[in-house]
Structure 1
């Protein structure tokens, strides 16, 4: 009943019989149906400050390292689906596993303090490191994972990344998540939406209205998959009407992604 009320469930996880993927760890959850968020769901995205657990929405997106299983359980106890935010394409110097990443993988800074782009061509090295993070999300009981920094090929990373490298890396992320029974988001990377649509269960996007890219996310909505979207610089009146027409789940947020939010669902 909860699955139907909140967004339904999707098809069974993908068959992992592909020699480019890591097998799930022995602790991975049994295969079954994974969550499939539907278009139009309201949501809360909070990555900084003291978590406000009382926002009346059916979906939360929170930092996977910063919150333990009890936080996830409390949200789920009132019918909330919970997404695990994990940085996948960039290294963060404050994470507990930061020393596990070989220095040769670290590229230019990405504009955020303490972060550097990763060499996503090195799939064999990155796969077990990211798999461990996804295992953490699964063990804490999250419903889905949001891997961040999935468009390095469009940035100055310090590595000669191509669109092909990005597709291979992003598909690896998808398979690792789905093997663990987790729904998985395509974060930004709007120029590869059509190639990656089948590999991802929903999308998370920053500032598609400011960059006039929201139409590129329409294939997700057309496929019955949610697009969770935020704007930082625009006011609700500048983009919410278009967002509603496109079927996006849109918010205005501050850049530090604290508890404050304004939802397009309320800005009518």
Structure 2
């Protein structure tokens, strides 16, 4: 029988690492406040000059140097990626198995739904969380996390989606990352305790904003992007929408639907 002997120093270092990691994972990640100011751009050269608290940018297309510059200017950086769909242009696209890819997303021929129950899918996504840490992101925002309501080519239950979202939130927090729930209005109440903020598109246009009130009640921000041209062209319409946003304590902004930086008007 082999006997393994560890020096006292080695044992102390090991215990210290475990304790430090546990405390870090339990407590130390960015928690954005209600009414945080923010900017969202996923396409084109990122405009670094907006006076906001938080930037939401693409995980893969944003360099560590860009993220460091934003952080150095006292901005938090949220890194966005799709957690529920396969995108064939991503550098890790070859890590997904064909059996885990379902139907094509409507309007996106090079994007397919993923089987969120698959351990192999989880492993790829966890590596993306590791990449977010490596690049210096303050947190992540995960797209396509409500696929259970869609004809994906797989048979998902509501509980499958909740389980997947719980896993991603817990894994993000273990890495010291904040995590945002992107466009999943129907499961807000079940997920609000796991996520640090919500990000939604067009909740005023589609009358869905009330679904996100649970985040505000839990002192977590709701980041809202609106794209209707009338909000840009008609000052009265814009002021009305923005007043509603301020009443709800939402962080609402007007953007181009291309998310390319060509339009940015905050409600503040």
TM over 0.5: yes
Query: Deviations 1:120-145 (Å, cap 9, x if unpaired)?
Result: 122x1222110100100011110010
> Paired residue for 2:260?
258
Counterparts of residues 1-268 of structure 1 (less than 5 Å):
31=25, 32-110=27-105, 111-122=107-118, 124-233=119-228, 235=231, 236-237=238-239, 239-259=241-261, 260-265=263-268
In the superposition, the TM-score normalised over structure 2's length comes to 0.85
Query: Deviations 1:42-82 (Å, cap 9, x if unpaired)?
Result: 11000001111011111000001011111111001111000
User: Secondary structure of 2:55's partner?
Assistant: strand
Q: Displacement, 1:237?
A: 3.6
Q: Distance in 2 between matches of 1:161 and 1:80?
A: 38
For structure 1, which runs of at least 5 residues remain unmatched after alignment? 1-26
- Computing the radius of gyration over CA atoms, which structure comes out larger, 1 or 2? 2
> Paired residue for 2:10?
none
User: Secondary structure of 1:199's partner?
Assistant: coil
User: Secondary structure of 2:244's partner?
Assistant: helix
Q: Distance in 2 between matches of 1:206 and 1:251?
A: 10
Q: Displacement, 1:30?
A: 5.2
Query: Deviations 1:78-118 (Å, cap 9, x if unpaired)?
Result: 11000010110000000011010001111111132411111
In the superposition, the TM-score normalised over structure 1's length comes to 0.85
User: Secondary structure of 1:71's partner?
Assistant: helix
Q: Distance in 2 between matches of 1:133 and 1:30?
A: 20
Q: Distance in 2 between matches of 1:90 and 1:197?
A: 22
**Alpha-carbon contact 2:104-2:111 (below 8 Å) kept:** yes
RMSD: 1.7
Q: Distance in 2 between matches of 1:120 and 1:143?
A: 24
User: Secondary structure of 2:193's partner?
Assistant: helix
**Alpha-carbon contact 2:116-2:122 (below 8 Å) kept:** no
More helix by share: 2
Q: Displacement, 1:225?
A: 0.4
More displaced 10-residue stretch of structure 1: 30-39 or 251-260: 30-39
Query: Deviations 1:218-248 (Å, cap 9, x if unpaired)?
Result: 1101111011110122513452221111111
> Aligned residue pairs: how many?
238
Q: Distance in 2 between matches of 1:182 and 1:215?
A: 27
Q: Distance in 1 between matches of 2:242 and 2:184?
A: 21
For structure 2, which runs of at least 5 residues remain unmatched after alignment? 1-20, 232-237
Q: Distance in 2 between matches of 1:170 and 1:232?
A: 27
User: Secondary structure of 2:172's partner?
Assistant: helix
User: Secondary structure of 2:128's partner?
Assistant: helix
